[in-house]
Amino acid sequence: MEREKAFELLLKYNKEKYHIQHAVTVEEVMKWYAGELGYDTNYWGVVGLLHDLDFEMYPQEHCVKAVEILKSENYSEDVIHAVCSHGYNVTVDVKPEHEMEKVLYAVDELTGIIFAAAKMRPSKSVSDMELSSLKKKFKDKAFAAGCSRDIIRNGAEMLEWDLDKLLSMTLEAMRATENTVSEQMNSLFHS
């Protein structure tokens, strides 16, 4: 799968910097996880990049409109299933089955919490964030209230991981990819 084609499609349906940055962050986190777990980093990355393809323009049809868009662009059924499965029990009945889908389901919301927590730090970075700090933010239901803790917990259960493992691995993934995401966003919005 071509990353360039997927990125062009993302930009066709997403204009807001936050949505694009979230997509790129999830792409990079998914690639990191694929490398750690022994899977195809490009495939996992493209699914991560496209996971919220329809959210900005069609928030009421999230994970539904994506099916139509991805089919029209000749994406395979496995990519469509993977993209849509992160909306399981929220907007669609598409259950995460593959390990990649379970990771996407869990980290989509979690990257939002970590991103928000990083913005509150003096460094504005995840590079110096400790797991204990993330756990405090996670327990504070008022912090990044739009990010569902239940989905994150359910994702950890689907993966048969304890919550600390999911939190620490995702924090590590965001640390490892933070500069790549920043470079991509800078080239897109400052060129």
Question: How far apart are alpha carbons 6 and 20 in whole angstroms?
Answer: 12
Vertex 22, ends 17 and 24: CA angle to 5°? 95
Q: Evaluate whether 49 touches 75 at the Cβ level (below 8 Å).
A: no
Fold of the 3-189 domain: Hypothetical protein af1432 (1.10.3210)
The rounded distance, in Å, linking the Cα atoms of 121 and 166 is: 21
- Specify the pTM: 0.96
Break the chain into its structural domains and give their ranges. 3-189
How would residue 1 be classed by pLDDT, with cut points 50, 70 and 90? low
* Residue whose token pair is 């807001």: 16
Summarize pLDDT for 71-83 with one digit per residue, the tens: 999 999 999 999 9
Q: What one-character-per-residue DSSP string does 9-24 give?
A: HHHHH--SHHHHHHHH
**Which residue carries 């700090």 as its tokens?**
133
Average pLDDT score over residue span 141-155? 95
Query: What is the token pair recorded at 12?
Result: 């066709």
Q: Report percent pLDDT > 70 for the chain.
A: 99
* Segment 146-162 mean pLDDT: 97
Phi-psi group of 121: left, alpha or beta (phi > 0 → left; psi -120 to 50 → alpha; rest → beta): beta
The pLDDT score that the predictor gives to residue 92 is 87
- The rounded distance, in Å, linking the Cα atoms of 69 and 61 is 12
